[in-house]
Structure 1
Amino acid sequence: MRAGEVLGRIAYDGDGRRLGRVVDLVVRRDPANGRLVLTDLLVARRWYGRVAGRLIGTEHHPSGPWVIRMAARLINRGTHLFPVHRVRLVPPVPGLPDTGDDT
């Protein structure tokens, strides 16, 4: 599976509610075998969430000009991180679990 196959897909939760579009992926190293595993999806509700992502958010840069911190907070308020096993993508991606449930 390639990142380009997942980015831009529409994400839904287990109840069928639209969450937004996938704008970024989070991969972590599996301690058991050392391989990278897709764990989370960054989903934006609005188009401008794709522009900023969470790169300039206050979580990553707590200091700095207050105007930039406030603008980043406003831009990022519709962007959320979801575990990959709780999201259903449309159209489905081969090789990605398509459960969309909370288990």
Structure 2
Amino acid sequence: MRAGELLGRTAYDLRGRRLGRVVDLVVRGGLPDGRLRLTDLVVDGHWYGRVSDRLIGPEHHPSGPWAIRLVARRLARSTRPVPVDQVRLDPPVPGFPRS
């Protein structure tokens, strides 16, 4: 599975409530053969995430001028990681957990 297959998809919880769009992935090393394991999807429910399907720079690296950090925090307030076993994607992705 490639990251591009997940980014921009609409994420729903297991009850069918819309969480937002997938804007980033969280992976961890953990498999014996050295492969990475997808643990969480970063979902943005704010209008910015629905429009751009991506995080802005200060959300990735929160440093720099205070005004830019403030704006980035305001835009990111609805951005949150969600465990992959608690998410359903639309349209479904083959090989994604619970799809």
- TM-score interval w.r.t. the shorter chain? 0.7 to 0.9
Deviation at 1:19, TM superposition (A): 0.3
Residues 1-103 of structure 1: pairs in structure 2 closer than 5 A: 1-30=1-30, 32-49=32-49, 50=52, 53=55, 55-57=57-59, 60-61=61-62, 64-98=64-98
With normalisation by structure 1, the TM-score equals 0.78
Q: Are the aligned partners of 2:13 and 2:86 in contact in 1 as well (CA < 8 Å)?
A: yes
Cα deviation per residue 1:26-67 (whole Å; 9 max; x = unaligned)? Answer: 11101544221111101111342347627414x953x64332
Runs of 4+ in 1 over 6 A off after TM superposition: none
**Gapped regions of structure 2 (runs ≥ 5):** none
**Percent identity (aligned):** 59
CA distance in 2, matches of 1:56, 1:31: 31
CA distance in 2, matches of 1:52, 1:10: 13
Match of 1:48, SS state, is helix
Q: How many residues get paired? A: 97
Structure 1 residues 38 and 54 mapped into 2: Cα distance closer, same or farther (>3 Å)?
farther
Q: Are the aligned partners of 2:21 and 2:53 in contact in 1 as well (CA < 8 Å)?
A: no
**Gapped regions of structure 1 (runs ≥ 5):** none
Letter in 2 for 1:66: W
With normalisation by structure 2, the TM-score equals 0.81
CA RMSD of superposed structures (Å): 2.2
